[in-house]
């Protein structure tokens, strides 16, 4: 299951991924992500809700890398990941490390919103 939505007022993208995503669903999620970031301004933030996401395979990691690269090109600001499954968090952390993707980790959507609504780190 995935959901992708953009909030132009906050200049924020919300991405939710849960369960085991089938190859077609992963591609559909990646395409929705790519379309949504085009609606936001340079410096947009991402709230990436990974609660309940199970680890993926090599093809899934390729889709993730493609999304991260596109977000960097579009000028992503802060990325906040909401996680609760350790293996998924570790797997995605390694991909982020390999691609130079910087993120902050929290354990709830409320924490993510508070973090992004607060002052930017210096």
pLDDT exceeds 90 at position 9 = yes
In a domain, 83, yes or no: yes
Range of the structural domain that residue 99 is part of = 2-117
Radius of gyration of the chain (CA): 13
21-25, 34-38, 88-92: which range is least confident on average?
Answer: 88-92
pLDDT at 3: 95
pLDDT exceeds 80 at position 96 = no
For the chain, give the percent of residues with pLDDT over 70: 84
In a domain, 82, yes or no: yes
Q: What is the CATH number of the domain that holds 12?
A: 3.30.750.24
Q: How do beta strands 12-17 and 2-7 pair?
A: antiparallel
The pLDDT tens digits for 29-88 are 999 999 999 999 999 999 989 888 877 788 888 888 888 889 999 999 999 989 875 545
Task: Provide the number of structural domains found in the chain.
Answer: 1
71-109: b or e for each residue (b if 16 or more CB lie within 10 Å)? beebebbbbbbbbeeeebbebbeebbeeeebebebbeee
Cβ of 69: how many Cβ atoms within 10 Å? Answer: 13
Band the pLDDT of 16: cuts 50, 70, 90.
Answer: very high
The pTM is what?
Answer: 0.82
pLDDT at 36: 97
In a domain, 122, yes or no: no
């Amino acid at each position: 299951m995935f959901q992708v939505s953009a909030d132009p007022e906050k200049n924020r993208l919300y991405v939710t991924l849960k369960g085991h995503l089938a190859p077609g669903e992963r591609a559909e999620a990646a395409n929705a992500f790519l379309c949504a970031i085009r609606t936001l301004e340079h410096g947009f933030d991402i709230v990436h809700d990974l609660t309940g996401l199970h680890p993926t395979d090599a093809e899934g990691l390729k889709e993730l890398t493609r999304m991260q690269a596109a977000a960097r090109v579009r000028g992503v600001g802060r990325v906040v990941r909401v996680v609760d499954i350790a293996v998924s968090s570790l797997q995605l952390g390694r991909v982020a490390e390999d691609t130079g993707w910087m993120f902050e980790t929290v354990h709830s959507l409320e924490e993510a919103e508070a973090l992004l609504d607060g002052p930017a780190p210096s």
